[in-house]
Structures are given as structure tokens and as C-alpha cells.
Amino acid sequence: MTGSETLLKPEQCALLLVDFQAGLAFGVESFARQTLLNNAVALARTAIAFKVPVVASTSASRVYSGPMLPALQEALPSVTPVERRNMNVWEDDVAHRAVMDTGRKRLIVAGLLTEACVSFPVLSALNDGFEVFVVADACGGLSPAGHDLALRRMESAGAQLTSWIQVLLEFQRDWTRHETYEDARSIVVANGGGYGMGLAYAREMIHPA
């Protein structure tokens, strides 16, 4: 695989979002919860901007975990989460079929909790020949150690670790790609911290002659 083929392309990818629900977010101790939510929303918005199919799945939404977090529902108004019982998306027929129906073999994954409902489908997808990219800063674990160990296990099995901003920049690749420029820029401005502040500042200060 050449360098250009190694880089992510939107038309090759699908995004799997797992269990972004309040009942699970309450237990996250590996990451500041508001930052985690910011990163997950930015990743979801990135998928929509670049027309990447999104599969979302929830579990125990009526008895413990609650619905998908409102900020993600707002970012993904046309995505209905697949409710399942099994911890592993890959072992739930409906959720697994939803991923397979995208027809994409490069799977980008984020969710809660890193130690279980993220790592289980990642390991299963790798075993089935998928190329899997785990958005580590949009995953939350029960402890920093548990989160780190789960990431290390997935990476050892062949998953590639990345961040939401790298996914966006890898998709955009060139700021002269006008068809996605405005959407990509707006996501960075809204969710990209200091980098987003810089882009907003540049737009205000730099004017063509």
C-alpha cells in the first residue's frame, strides 16, 4: 500500500459510534466528559460533511443507559441508533448487518466504554479482515489505566489509533478542496480549541487584496 493509499479517504470509510449514552458516560474517568463529547460531536459532524456512512448503536437504553446523547442526536438527525442486547456490536445481527451494508472495509470506531463495547467489535472486525481505526480521543474508559490497556490491546491486534482532528484533516487533505472547505472549517472552529480559534482569527484578519 502506497502512502497515499494508507491515508484515509471518505469514500472508503464507515463510522461506527457505540453507546454514547449518559448512563455509560457517568462512569467515564479516563477523559474529561465534556471534552470527550466535544470530540465525538466533531467526529460525527466530520462524517456528515464528507458523506461517510454512520452506524450508531445503543444498549440498555430503556433500562439503564438512556438514549444517545442529545448533542450527537443533533449532529446526526438522520441516524437512528440500532438498539442491541449484546455488548459486542459484531455479535448482534441487526447492528452487524448495518455495518456490513455500508459496503466499506475501513471502519472508524469511537464510543463508550473503551474496555468493552469499543474494544470487542474492533477486535471482531479485525478478525473479519476489516481495517479499523480507533478514534482514541472520542472513546472513554472506566479508568485511565483501563482505557490505555484497551487501546494497547486493540493496537496490538492491528487497529490503528487516531484522533478526530486527524480524521478530519486526512479527509480534507487540502484546504483548496472547496466542496468540503466550509464544513470542515466550521467544525474546526467550533470544536478544535486553539486551532479553531486560529482559523477564525485568520478569516477575520487576512483579506485578499
Cα–Cα distance measured from residue 65 to residue 126, given in angstroms and rounded to the nearest whole number: 27
Is the torsion defined by CA of 111, 98, 88, 19 positive or negative? positive
Helix axes 164-172, 33-49, angle to 10 degrees: 20
203, amino acid identity: R
Contact 47, 17 (CB under 8 A): no
Model confidence at 208: pLDDT above 80? no
pLDDT digits (tens, 9 = 90+) for 85-144: 999 999 999 999 999 999 999 999 999 999 999 999 999 999 999 999 999 999 999 999
pLDDT digits (tens, 9 = 90+) for 148-169: 999 999 999 999 999 999 999 9
Q: Write down the pLDDT at residue 73.
A: 98
pLDDT digits (tens, 9 = 90+) for 73-87: 999 999 999 999 999
pTM value? Answer: 0.94
Domain 12-173 falls under CATH 3.40.50.850: yes
SS (H, E, C) 140-207: ECCCHHHHHHHHHHHHHHCCEEECHHHHHHHHHCCCCCHHHHHHHHHHHHHHCHHHHHHHHHHHHHCC
* Mean pLDDT, residues 24-51 taken together: 97
Is the torsion defined by CA of 58, 63, 69, 72 positive or negative? positive
Cα–Cα distance measured from residue 140 to residue 27, given in angstroms and rounded to the nearest whole number: 9
Contact 119, 89 (CB under 8 A): no
Map out the domains of the chain as residue ranges. 12-173
Cα–Cα distance measured from residue 133 to residue 135, given in angstroms and rounded to the nearest whole number: 6
* Mean pLDDT, residues 25-50 taken together: 97
CB atoms within 10 A of CB 73: 16
Nearest to 49 by CA among 174, 189, 200, 179: 179
Show which residues are catalytic: 117
